[in-house]
Amino acid sequence: MEEIVLSVENLEKIYPGNIHAVKGVSFNVKKGESVAIIGSSGSGKSTVLRCINRLIEPTKGIIRLNDEIINNPLANVNDIRSKIGMVFQSFELFSHLKVLDNITLGLRHVRGMDKKDAEKSALEVLARVDLLDRTEAYPGNLSGGQKQRVAIARALAMHPEVILFDEPTSALDPELIGSVLKTIKGLADEGMTMVIVTHEISFARDVADRIIYMDKGLIAEQGPSEIIGNPQSDRLKEFLSSMDEEN
């Protein structure tokens, strides 16, 4: 029986003004599985990720990581975030810290590692994202693609159970997207458990084991990546058609 790492049950999020962003969303993520969440802007995709990582609190529902209810008010948020990595569309790097220090910060202050061991781990993950030559650079001297790969390395360094990607290429110029997608695909090939919110439909099809299509806060369709080529619901057909027209 395949191990379920992440479980989301009947998740709802209502923002002030009675804005119902997420409406009863449920899904599981198995160990080593890559799940892509697609959908139009405002469909609730990023809200789901932010609830999972406790950046915002859900209005209702249960989120489990390895059977532990992590949206329990008594749960240790820092511990949760060390187990669930998050890669943001806007990188969220510390501009005053060098690349190496951006990665070692969490290792030293959350994991309690000493400087030498933290730097060793940081160099290992920087090698994985092909950035060993940028350890002494500041984020301001990096391209957008390099910044995002540093952010991925920072998440990897914590050895998380799951990594969440929130539109990891949306802030990048088109010519820089490829290197980031290649890095994420490499992680999928290595068996990293991932949930990826993306507007890159071809990438979702080629990398994800499973696709979740959200529309107006609901899961409108989900299934293996093949559903992108053979959608069953009219809503997913219309969405894919609109994406083709944009591209």
For the segment 181-187, the average pLDDT, to the nearest whole number, is: 90
For the segment 49-53, the average pLDDT, to the nearest whole number, is: 94
Tokens at 112, concatenated: 């309690």
26 domain-assigned: no
Looking at the structure of the chain, the number of domains it has is: 1
Looking at per-residue confidence, does 59 or 89 come out higher? 59
pLDDT score at 246: 62
pLDDT > 70? residue 125: yes
pLDDT score at 175: 79
221 domain-assigned: yes
**Residue 227 belongs to what domain range?**
32-42+77-246
pLDDT band at 19 (very low <50, low <70, confident <90, very high): very high
196 domain-assigned: yes
89 domain-assigned: yes
5 domain-assigned: no
Using a pLDDT cut of 90, give the percent of the chain over it. Answer: 65
- 194 CB neighbour count, 10 Å cutoff: 24
pLDDT score at 5: 95
20 domain-assigned: no
Number of helices and strands in the chain (H, E): 8, 10
* CATH code where residue 199 lies: 3.40.50.300
pLDDT > 70? residue 124: yes
pLDDT score at 247: 56
Please state, rounded to an integer, the average pLDDT across all residues of the chain.
91
- Nearest CA to 189 out of 128, 132, 131, 134 is that of 128
Q: Residue 70 in contact with residue 63, Cβ under 8 Å? A: yes
pLDDT score at 27: 97
List residues bridging with 19 in a β-sheet. Answer: 15
List Cα–Cα distances, 227 to 138, 165, 224, in angstroms: 42, 21, 6
47 domain-assigned: no
For the segment 94-115, the average pLDDT, to the nearest whole number, is: 91
For the segment 196-216, the average pLDDT, to the nearest whole number, is: 92
- 246 CB neighbour count, 10 Å cutoff: 8
- Nearest CA to 140 out of 195, 98, 100 is that of 98
pLDDT score at 213: 96
For the segment 187-204, the average pLDDT, to the nearest whole number, is: 92
18 domain-assigned: no
Can you tell me the distance from the alpha carbon of 100 to that of 97, in angstroms, rounded to the nearest whole number? 8
Structure confidence by residue, pLDDT tens digits, 211-231: 999 999 999 999 999 999 888
pLDDT score at 231: 86
